[in-house]
Amino acid sequence: MARRLFSLCVSREKKRRRTADPTDKMAVDGGHRNSGCDWDGRWNHVRKFLERPGPFTHPDFEPSTESLQFLLETCKILVIGAGGLGCELLKNLALSGFRLIHVVDMDTIDVSNLNRQFLFRPKDVGRPKAEVAADFINTRIPGCKVVPHFKKIQDFDDSFYRQFHIIVCGLDSIIARRWMNGMLISLLSYEDGVLDPSSIIPLIDGGTEGFKGNARVILPGMTACIDCTLELYPPQINFPMCTIASMPRLPEHCIEYARILQWPKENPFGDISLDGDNPDHIQWVFDRSQERAAEFSITGVTYRLTQGVVKRIIPAVASTNAVIAASCAMEVFKIATSAYIPLNNYLVFNDVDGLYTYTFEAERKENCSACSQVPQDLQFPPSAKLQEVLEYLTENASLQMKSPAITTTLEGKNKTLYLQSVKSIEERTRPNLCKTLKELGLSDGQELAVADVTTPQTVLFKLNFTT
């Protein structure tokens, strides 16, 4: 079933004819193609996988000289992120024959990117990553047309995403991943409860941290999505406030004390928030942390540690990003050309001790809040306070929402029960948190619509009163 759908979704704009000619006496070298900038032999390495039959190819694969044309002229790929993974992805795709590539990244280049984001140079510091990356690739790899977008993924709507055949992510944020995941799920169309395969846009997702990485293939609506496997991403651990405030033991506790408690109180640079990229701010935190540490005879506070804690820095090297981006690009190629059966569906990599890879099939969750279409259940007694519902939405391992906004329909009118992100609405709705569900006028079976940064669409929950 999966195999059939692959070729359907990829061949949306692809016209194939049987032109296999394995007895062609011409060298593969005879590459005089339509595009003017394709010199002799340019695509030799790629063409062997597109124009020759083989024993391990995808069952739907047909050798053809048209496949290369599809890659060069028609196949549209979206790369999310132009950082450690993004730079590598753009290069890998461009050298595999993809030319119509868009790249989205909201960041500008920082000096600390230069140890691995090889499309950038010291002179580029401060410029938008997407633009510099696109420039480099388009110049170095003739014919490639990377279109940059110095934007957040949330700045685009479904009409933007719909134009791509495949989307590949090199993000450093779980929230952004979930949002992207949600967006592609929202593009799916069902006819009489059956998923229309041409509405599926495959999502290849890569992630790295130090010497560890993973790459996965997601067919929204068909295979495990990001939210199906949310437990694989454990929530970030924050130190308890009482430890920070009155019994620090580690240098990190001293740094958090300066960041969370002292900075807002003393406002050393005026009424502005702490900027991890401002060396003066970090220096201030470092100095205060050292004082705190001395008070408790704690050793180990360094400038580097201070910066690491304040900015939540994740160590990174070129090599891990190279490996994971290579795996991801390989999958993009397989799906776009049906050359081989794609990864099914999750690869884990670790080169701390030798080199270790593990490949497995992540399973779909039957009641996944993102992709299962099963209405989500909320079980609470009518005497429960709204605060408890809020905590459930944020703390439950399968939901892990960040700042959910809860609305419902009461007496035919839309009512916001609680919303955190807009100050005036937060203040107005805060009293609701202490009210019980019954006091708020909610009834058994009531539908609650929850919006959150982790998803572009609201999630519908059904309230089930327990006794």
Partner 1 sequence: MAATQASKEQKYDRQLRLWGDHGQETLENAHVCLVNATATGTEILKNLVLPGIGAFTIVDGHTVSGEDVGNNVNLAFMLQNRAQAATELLQEMNSDVSGNFVEESPDKLLDNDPEFFHRFTIVIGVHLPESTCMRLGSVLWSASVPFLVCKTYGLIGYMRLVVQEHTVIESHPDNALEDLRLDQPFSEFKNHIQSYDLDSMDKKDHSHTPWIIIVAKYLEKWLSEHNCQAPKNYKEKEAFRQIIREGIFRKNENGVPEDEENFEEAVKNVNTALNPTKVPTALEDLFNSEQCNNITSQTPAFWVMLRAVKEFVHNEGSGSLPVRGTIPDMIADSQKFISLQNIYREKAMQDTAAVSKHVERLLQSVGKVCCKNASFLRVVRCRSLAEEYSVDSVNKDEITSCMDSPDSEMVFYLMLRAVDRFYQQHSRYPGVYNYQVEEDISKLKLCVNSLLQEYSLNVNIKDDYIHEFCRYGAAEPHTVAAFLGGSAAQEAIKIISHQFVPFSNTFIYNAMSQTSATLHL
The amino acid present at 287, given as its one-letter code, is D
Q: Which two tokens stand for residue 278?
A: 């401002």
Contact 41, 29 (CB under 8 A): yes
Query: Which two tokens mark 330?
Result: 């390989």
Distance CA 85, CA 112 (A): 15
Question: Which of these is catalytic: 144, 225, 228, 242?
Answer: 242
Query: For residue 452, what are the β-bridge partners?
Result: 455
> Smaller CB distance to partner 1: residue 146 or 347?
347
Residue identified by tokens 């809020």 is: 390
Fill in the amino acid letter for 390.
Answer: L
Q: Quick one: 1 or 352, whose CB is closer to partner 1?
A: 352
- For the chain, the farthest-separated pair of C-alpha atoms sits apart, in whole angstroms, at 82
Closer to partner 1 by CB, 149 or 253: give it. 253
Q: What distance in Å separates the CA atoms of residue 339 and residue 67, rounded to the nearest whole number?
A: 10
Residue placing its CB nearer to partner 1 in the complex, 116 or 281: 116
Closest to partner 1 by CB, 10 vs 390, is 10
Instruction: Identify the H or E element spanning 463.
Output: strand 455-465
Residue whose structure tokens are 């759908």: 5
Residue 462's CB is within 10 A of a number of other CB atoms, namely 14
For the chain, the residue count is: 467
Sign of the C-alpha dihedral computed for residues 331, 97, 57 and 319 taken in this order: negative
**Given strand 76-80, what is the order of strands in its sheet?**
145-149, 100-104, 76-80, 166-170, 203-209, 212-218, 346-350, 356-360
Nearest-CA neighbor of 186 among 172, 201, 176, 171?
Answer: 201
Contacts of 136 (CB under 8 A, 6+ apart): 119, 120
User: Would you call 352 exposed, middle or buried from its count of C-beta atoms within 10 A (0-12, 13-18, 19+)?
Assistant: exposed
Q: How far is residue 12's CA from residue 178's CA, in Å, rounded to a whole number?
A: 26
Is 37 one of the annotated active-site residues of the chain? no
Nearest to 449 by CA among 396, 375, 379: 375
Give the dihedral of Cα atoms 341, 345, 157, 187; nearest 10 deg.
70
- Residue closer to partner 1 (CB basis): 112 or 436: 112
Cis peptide, bond prior to residue 138, ω within 30 of zero: no
The residues that bridge with 451 in the sheet, in sequence order, are 405
Task: Report the residue number, 166 or 329, with the smaller CB distance to partner 1.
Answer: 329
Radius of gyration of the chain from its Cα atoms, rounded to whole angstroms: 26
Show the tokens assigned to 455: 């998803």
Pick 51 or 205: Cβ nearer partner 1 = 51
Q: Whose Cβ is closer to partner 1: residue 194's or residue 352's?
A: 352
**Which residues are part of the catalytic machinery?**
242
